[in-house]
Amino acid sequence: KNQVEQSPQSLIILEGKNCTLQCNYTVSPFSNLRWYKQDTGRGPVSLTIMTFSENTKSNGRYTATLDADTKQSSLHITASQLSDSASYICVVSVSNFGNEKLTFGTGTRLTIIP
Amino acid sequence: DTGVSQDPRHKITKRGQNVTFRCDPISEHNRLYWYRQTLGQGPEFLTYFQNEAQLEKSRLLSDRFSAERPKGSFSTLEIQRTEQGDSAMYLCASSLGYFGTNEKLFFGSGTQLSVL
């Protein structure tokens, strides 16, 4: 069964600190891995998309890494800001006969405190 | 606002009533998706359209659920005879072109349904 597991479930850090969120997946055949940010009561917003051949991608203070061999990804947030408080969802895309299907993780709830 | 818009943002209904949600995708996007999300979970796929054609439906989409995209633009999701288990956030997303080219999925803010 295709699964995406994220850790930790929740995280609280002080404003200005860095943090790293983890994602492990067991999906096949892998197409790409995405990280989304979801504010409370809003839809997810795409942060990064990485294919099999990419092992790192940055979007401002967000840097995602991908190890396709170990099927692990991480999202590193640098110099956190209060506006980073949100759920961060790891999403893995499975390619199946030319169709893409997304498998969503349950997310990491990040809280930044002043 | 040129993003994906959903209406209404919130809907409270009594068990057994019918509800209909609307999604307006980004204008040039040909693919439109419906997802359902419950508290503390990631979104779950319900169905998607390529233009006006509904190409796939999840097993989650029982016969009480129906979705349409009559002119390949906006879409509606109807739930008949609502049950308390239908309470969730219903998210719409759209994308341009063939999804396999790693196209970004743009989500709306969702419709929060509460069934009493």
Residue B103 has pLDDT above 80, yes or no: no
Looking at residues A33-45, what average pLDDT do you find? 94
The verdict on a CB contact (< 8 Å) between A49 and B102 is yes
**Residue-level length of chain B:** 116
Q: Which comes out higher in pLDDT, residue B56 or A59?
A: A59
What is the rounded average pLDDT for all residues in chain B? Answer: 92
3-state secondary structure (DSSP) of residue B113: strand
Interface test with B, best of A38, A53, A91 (most B CBs within 10 A): A38
Q: Which residues contact A38 (CB under 8 A, 6 or more apart)?
A: A44, A45, A86, A87, A88, A89, A107
Q: Is A104 on the interface with B (CB under 8 A)?
A: yes
For chain B, how far is it from start to end, CA to CA, in angstroms?
33
Q: Is A30 on the interface with B (CB under 8 A)?
A: no
- Name the closest residue on chain A to residue B110, using Cα atoms: A43
Q: By percentage, how much of chain A surpasses pLDDT 70?
A: 95
Question: Over the stretch B87-97, which tens digit does the pLDDT of each residue have?
Answer: 999 999 998 86
Q: Which comes out higher in pLDDT, residue B50 or B103?
A: B50
The verdict on a CB contact (< 8 Å) between B100 and A98 is yes
Q: How far is CA A5 from the centre of its chain?
A: 10
For B59, the token pair is 């097993």
Looking at residues A80-98, what average pLDDT do you find? 89
Q: Is A91 on the interface with B (CB under 8 A)?
A: yes
